[in-house]
């Protein structure tokens, strides 16, 4: 009887945690020249990440003016090409997810057959990041290694971009690369009582592409632009310019490219 009651209490606690809404704000740093703000929402097993399309000023997050700027970022008009945001939606821990991406001024709904993350949490050391005591975890992901620091003080399996599934909220994450991408938790509202500023009806009305189709289109466009730029450069006898495909994103190698030369 006592064991049964304890099990019920544990299940109720777990359900209560999942039922509470969370809102986290991350600073996303893809390079030393750019910083973006990324809002992450978690409710009933669904995680939504919303990344601003415009880089954040270096003094953002300080003072009242920065708070006003954060508030204004919630007024999203996705069908306006000048106010586009990258949105990732993953529901109920499903491997596949959807995200909005833009190409040549047009928004698309991209389906990603997400390979899933197998986290290694077998690390004994802890580290203090901000006010949280964090534990380390690593995972292999599309040609790179993710290094995450999560806190079980916030027992919500959420994190930035496409990443989550740990026993607690991800506080900091980066990938091993010559030019790593960084995410760092800046603000947290938990539990969160506000709305999630995402128009799913509009998102589902967008023209649809698979991730492979989108990547091929995007890289073909980039290749064309590079050729145009190269054609305008002066030709120097005896000098050959070689170009290699280098992805600055955290995704380095996709599933359909594995075993092929890049």
pLDDT tens for 158-179 read 999 999 999 999 999 999 988 8
Res 222: pLDDT = 80
Report pLDDT for 159.
Answer: 97
Amino acid 177: pLDDT: 87
- Fold (CATH) for 15-211: outer membrane lipoprotein receptor (LolB), chain A (2.50.20)
Q: Which residues of the chain have pLDDT under 70?
A: 1-19, 57-84, 93, 230-231, 235-246, 248, 259-262
**Bridge partners for 125 per DSSP:** none
- 119 exposure class (CB count in 10 Å sphere: 0-12, 13-18, 19+): middle
pTM greater than 0.85: no
Measured between alpha carbons, how far is 62 from 154 in angstroms, rounded to an integer? 24
Domain ranges in the chain are 15-211
Q: How many other CB atoms are found less than 10 A from the CB of residue 49?
A: 29
Q: What pLDDT shows up at residue 38? A: 95
CA gap 136, 124 in Å, rounded:
8
Per-residue pLDDT at 32 = 80
Q: What is the per-residue pLDDT for 5?
A: 43
Give tens-digit pLDDT for 184-235: 999 999 999 999 989 989 999 999 999 999 999 998 988 887 777 766 777 6
Residue 209 to residue 113: CA distance in whole angstroms:
12
Residue 162, token pair as written in the block? 């496409």
pLDDT of residue 84: 62
Q: What is the pLDDT of residue 145?
A: 97
* pLDDT given for residue 96 in this prediction: 87
């Amino acid at each position: 009887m006592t064991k049964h009651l304890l099990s019920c209490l544990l299940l109720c606690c777990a359900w209560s945690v999942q039922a509470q809404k969370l809102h986290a704000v991350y600073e996303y740093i893809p390079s030393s020249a750019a910083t973006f703000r990324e809002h992450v929402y978690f409710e009933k097993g669904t995680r939504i990440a919303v990344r601003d399309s415009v880089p954040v000023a270096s003094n953002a997050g300080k003072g009242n003016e920065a708070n006003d700027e954060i508030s204004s970022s919630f007024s999203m008009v996705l069908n306006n090409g000048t106010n586009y945001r990258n949105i990732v939606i993953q529901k109920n821990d499903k491997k596949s997810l959807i995200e909005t991406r833009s190409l040549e001024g047009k928004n698309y709904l991209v389906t990603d057959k997400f390979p899933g993350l197998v986290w290694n949490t077998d690390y004994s050391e802890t580290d203090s990041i901000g006010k949280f005591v964090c534990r380390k975890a690593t995972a292999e992901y599309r040609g790179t290694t993710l290094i995450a620091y999560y806190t079980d003080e916030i027992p919500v399996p959420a994190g930035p971009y496409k990443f989550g599934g740990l026993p607690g909220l991800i506080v900091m994450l980066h990938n091993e690369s010559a030019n790593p991408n960084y995410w760092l938790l800046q603000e947290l509202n938990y539990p969160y009582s506000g709305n999630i500023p995402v128009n799913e009806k509009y998102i589902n009305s967008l023209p649809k592409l698979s991730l492979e189709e989108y990547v091929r289109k995007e890289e073909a466009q980039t290749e064309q632009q590079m050729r145009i730029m190269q054609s305008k450069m002066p030709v120097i006898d005896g000098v050959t310019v070689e170009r290699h495909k280098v992805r600055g994103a955290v995704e380095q190698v996709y599933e359909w490219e594995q075993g092929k030369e890049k």
